[in-house]
Structure 1
Amino acid sequence: MKKLLWMLFGLLAIFLVACSDKGDEEAVAPEPSEDGKTAITIAYKDDGPSSEDSVKYYDALEAALKEHRDLDVEFNIVEIAQGDYAEKLNLLLYSGEIPDIIYFQGSDEQIAAQGLLEDLTPYIEGSEYLKDILYDHNGTRLDNYPYLLWVKPINHKVPVVRTDYLEQLSSSETLLADPTIENYRAFFQELVDKGLTEYGITVAGDIAELDFIFNRAFGVTSTWLEDGNGGYVYKKVSNAEKEKLAFYAELYAGGLLDNQYLTKQWDVKEDDFYNNKAGVIVGTNGKVIDLYNTRIKAVNGESAELTVLPGASGISSGYAATSVTKEPRGLAISSQSPNKNIAFEILDFLASPEGMKLDLLGYEGEHYNIENGEIVLTDKYYSEWFSRFWEPQTIKLDTAISERTPLLSPPGQASTNAVIESYEADNDFTIPEENISQWDAMENLYKEYAADIITGKVSIDAFDTFVDEWYGAGGEDITKLANEKLK
């Protein structure tokens, strides 16, 4: 079925690209609506015409564009069916309905390969604002893959704990000063032994969140590790990975890792943290940690404010390495859109002081107020507002934000600072299209073995069997490809 869909989509792509190749003189010009507005169609996860919050936001953006750029647009928000966003979005695209601005969260490479996404490089180079707010990793990712843009801090995850719990534990000072693997284990153990929590740490569904803390400590410092013989080995079949899984299995057996982690959904995971079943939770740096902080204090009082914990140290230290092959999510412009320039002008406006004021701060009188010539953020801002588009490191607004109400709470800002300080680029690369199905099967094989090892269904010795199966399932070819690329 999937192959058939791609064949149909390929035919659609050929038709659309053929039409677009007739030359600029024959390109379809944007047609204004009856009221003179240019219709801009946008597909964005969790946004839709049935959402009052979405409609309110895009109405406000229309007004801001008209006021500050004399740009008269009307947003048509696409309703994406509930379920897996990437899958549902692709079904929309298969149908031939291709919005002007598209948010992708996976499955964009196949679309770009059909020539249906615009190369953003010349637009950004000629932009008034966007080119000045890019992070270093944005530039590298755009050089590698110029179709997606996501101007936000590195989307990493960091561990946090209640500060009042931290202050009650004798192991806290040692952990913060020297966050070794064993000091982390002792910290989790004391949380449980003192009856503060049921288990030391919770994660949702797999071990990816644990890996942000422990990968580098075990020597899993990049996707492809040097093998000591001038070549590279995939991290998940390395001896370092075996040692890490053995450690996770010990945490699980000792009740320090949430024994329900495999089936736990993210919302239940968060509730377990707020209700003190879990001592440590892992969340995305910045705004997500901010929201966790607001919620934990609302449930448990001001003393429960969060403290960001460091990445574990050992063979290396810090949080997991960051992929720079491409943006894993982000905004694209359809190459078939008759409104490409206007679509980009909207994205550039959102990087301007006026655009940031809406996208970063929300609505005046609701999420912020102007007091004595300063922007004062409200409790509602901290509890519910998020930036749909850009989150630059340097914020330039016409009115200063009061020091009493910074954009991020101290824990939120500390989490972002910690990730920036710990940044290290990964050496991964995009798996070729012809190997993707094989690669997915190999990754699923790893997940099955990792889950069975951690939960004690098989011993750590089964890792060696997994390695043999992994190489037999296509690992030999992928490893050969990696060594060719990395050398």
Structure 2
Amino acid sequence: MRKKMMMLSAILLVIALMGTACSSGGDKGQSPESDVESKGFTNGKFDPPITLTTVGSVGSNYVFKNGETLENNVHTKWVKDNLGIDIKYNWVTSGDQFATKVRLDLSANNKMPDVIHIYDPQLMSDLIESGKFMDISSAFDKYASPKVKQIYNQDPMYWAQVTKDGKHYGLPTLSRAQQNDTLLWIRTDWLKKMNMEPPKTFDDLEKIMDGMKKTDFGTGPVNPPLAISIKDANMPFVQWRGDASWIFGGYGIIPHYWNKWNGDKLEYGSVQPQMKQALAKMQDWYKKGYLSADVGLIDVGKSDDTFRNQKSGIMTGPTFQASVVRSALNKNNPNAEAAPFPIPAGPSGKPGLRNTTVPGGAFLINKDFKHVDAFFLYINKMYEIGDPPKGSEFENGYAEGYDYVIKDGKVSSVEADFPDKQKVNVASYFLSGQPFVDPELELNSYVKLYNGEKPSTPFETRMYNAVPESERKDPKNVLEWKAAYYTLQQKDNTLANLFLGPPTPTMKSKWEALVKMESETFLKIVYGKASIDEFDTFVDKWKKMGGDQITEEVNDWYNSVGGK
């Protein structure tokens, strides 16, 4: 018996020694997963590739070449070949069905993807509350590159939507700063014919609109002079195109926005006294025919159609409206001239316009995902590509033949120079569906070019090459550059929406009815179907129907995320 016990002890000792030898580095294939991860991250590529699952959506604006899809394209191939990350989509649907499909997966307790990009604040909040997604605070500290940390540390409010109990349950996606800040785009050839200068005040603007209605420009009646849209049911006066919020901004208020209008407390812009004056002004403009008769029925995306077709002399919109002038207006009339101008001052004595919210959506990471370092390798690399160094393979753009071509030995991003006349927004293939860049980079680059400086970085060169060569001869008249200059000039006149959180408890049950009442009341006032005094009745009802309680809840959220 004793002999058997000694033999068993010897066997156990040998097994223990063998285990020690293996853990000392005998078989590398048995290395702990954390070591494999760190090597992939450190080396800048996972070998063999790891899989990252996600879900996605495509809209009518997506363009694919060479039989590609969202699941298999020039970007996903590059990521797998160069980073060792194999992006797999569990499903892809249309943009309007995306949130519904995510909710179905959540309610059915289906396995969530490793990484999911969400825009909807309520859905984002519900996913965070589900407990299926991780706090990325420590991962961000460990894996985010210095460049990424510098960008995300510019404003603590970037993190507001994903913050819960002081923890960060996602990585916000950041838009270009001031990308939707509004300008007036005016037919300058019409101004010349009327012998008028660009407007400095609302009074100047009214004289111009009145002159446009009374002047024959050889293109038929001008109807309406001002092309805007107030159709959207949720925020009808605040739009990315055809925006009307600057009219209210001229009175020191922005409808639908939460801000400290009267002190240290957030209040809802649409119920402030200044709104009544602004609505009266819009009602007056509508009666005088300065606005379209069906301004409340025009789709936002079609708000500038009358400007394109030379029925309107003024449209509103941000820097990207330069494409409307170049590709639509000038196509209909090669001799037409138009340019951007700052928003004029209102009765408050200064201009006021909505401020573009930089954080828009976020990446949530599945708490069971074992390769969070792979996600950050992707993020770090994408921000590097967004502003690449000289000599980078992305110096000219994301992919030749997609967002740039070589024509006559020169790089061009002008769509007309593409052999198939089709330029592709490669960034729409990214996990975020948009470029990864420092929010301030594009605007500052445009202004530099506007001031006559030559591009000194690949990013600036991209911006430069996106403009037809014939226009670059006079930097002060390049539409995008001029628009960027004015956008930056009016930055101090922007008014921000400080509520970026999910719907509050009372909002969930009351907000839809409140917004419906607001939209219907305001539209009746603009159309002249209700007295301007109807605004006072609306405010009283809004407060009693839950508005006061919502205001308290909004401030509770704001204070909880460190708002100042």
**TM-score of Structure 1 vs Structure 2, range by shorter chain:** 0.7 to 0.9
Contact 1:62 1:74 in 2 (8 A): yes
User: By how many angstroms is 1:255 displaced?
Assistant: 1.5
Q: 1:428 aligns with which of 498, 505, 517?
A: 498
User: Which runs of no fewer than 5 residues in structure 1 stay unpaired?
Assistant: 1-24
**By how many angstroms is 1:353 displaced?**
3.4
- Assess if the C-alpha contact under 8 Å between 2:403 and 2:424 holds in 1: yes
Name 1:412's counterpart in structure 2: 480
CA–CA separation in structure 1 for the residues paired with 2:286 and 2:436? 39
Aligned length: 448
Matches of 1:427 and 1:82, distance apart in 2 = 25
Deviation (angstroms), 1:231: 6.4
Tell whether 2:204 aligns with 1:191: no
**Cα distance, 1:162 vs structure 2:** 3.6
Larger radius of gyration: 2
Q: Retained in 1: the 8 A contact 2:181–2:355?
A: no
CA contact 1:162–1:306 (8 Å) conserved in 2: yes
Partner SS, residue 172 of structure 1: coil
Identify the residue that residue 343 of structure 1 maps to in structure 2. Answer: 375
The amino acid of 1:128's aligned partner reads S
What's the counterpart of residue 291 of structure 1?
323
Q: Separation in 2 of the partners of 1:293 and 1:77?
A: 41
* Alignment partner, residue 153 of structure 1: 177
Which residue, out of 370, 394, 405, partners 1:369?
405
Cα 1:366/1:328, change in 2 over 3 Å? closer
For the residue of structure 1 that corresponds to 2:225, the secondary structure is strand
SS in 2 for 1:361: coil
Secondary structure in 2 aligned to 1:73? strand
Distance 1:383 1:457, change over 3 A: farther
Moved more, 195-204 or 464-473: 195-204
In 2 relative to 1, CA 330–282 (structure 1 residues): closer, same or farther, beyond 3 Å? farther
Q: Secondary structure at the match of 1:90?
A: helix
The answer to whether structure 1 residue 466 and structure 2 residue 480 are counterparts is no
Rounded Cα–Cα distance in structure 1 between residues aligned with 2:555 and 2:148: 34
- Give unpaired runs (5+ residues) of structure 2: 1-31, 38-46, 163-167, 428-433, 443-455, 472-477
**Normalization by structure 1: what TM-score?**
0.76
- For residues 314 and 156 of structure 2, the distance between their equivalents in structure 1, rounded to whole angstroms, comes to 33
Deviation at 1:464, TM superposition (A): 1.0
1:389 matched to 2:435? The reply is yes
What's the counterpart of residue 100 of structure 1? 114
Residue number in structure 2 paired with 1:111: 127
Given the two structures, how large is their TM-score scaled by the length of structure 2? 0.67
TM-aligned CA deviation for residue 331 of structure 1: 4.3
Where 1:281 maps in the other structure, the secondary structure is strand
Could you say which residue in structure 1 is the equivalent of 2:359?
327
Q: Does the CA contact (< 8 Å) of 1:64 and 1:354 recur in 2?
A: no
The CA deviation string for residues 5-28 of structure 1, in whole angstroms up to 9 with x for no partner, is: xxxxxxxxxxxxxxxxxxxx999x
The equivalent position to 2:516 in structure 1, one of 420, 444, 456, is: 444
- Of residues 301, 306, 309, the one that matches 1:275 is 309
Residue identity in the other structure for 1:401: T
Match of 2:159 among 117, 142, 150: 142
Q: Where does residue 78 of structure 1 map in the other structure?
A: 91
What code does the residue aligned with 1:161 have? Answer: I
Trace 1:295-314 onto structure 2 (pairs within 5 A).
295-304=327-336, 306-314=338-346
Amino acid at match of 1:183: D
For residues 336 and 306 of structure 1, the distance between their equivalents in structure 2, rounded to whole angstroms, comes to: 54
Amino acid in structure 2 at the alignment position of 1:218 = Y
* 1:87–1:413 Cα change, 3 Å: farther
Task: Name which of 55, 60, 63 aligns with 2:74.
Answer: 60
Deviation at 1:81?
3.8
Q: What residue in structure 2 maps to residue 40 of structure 1? A: 52
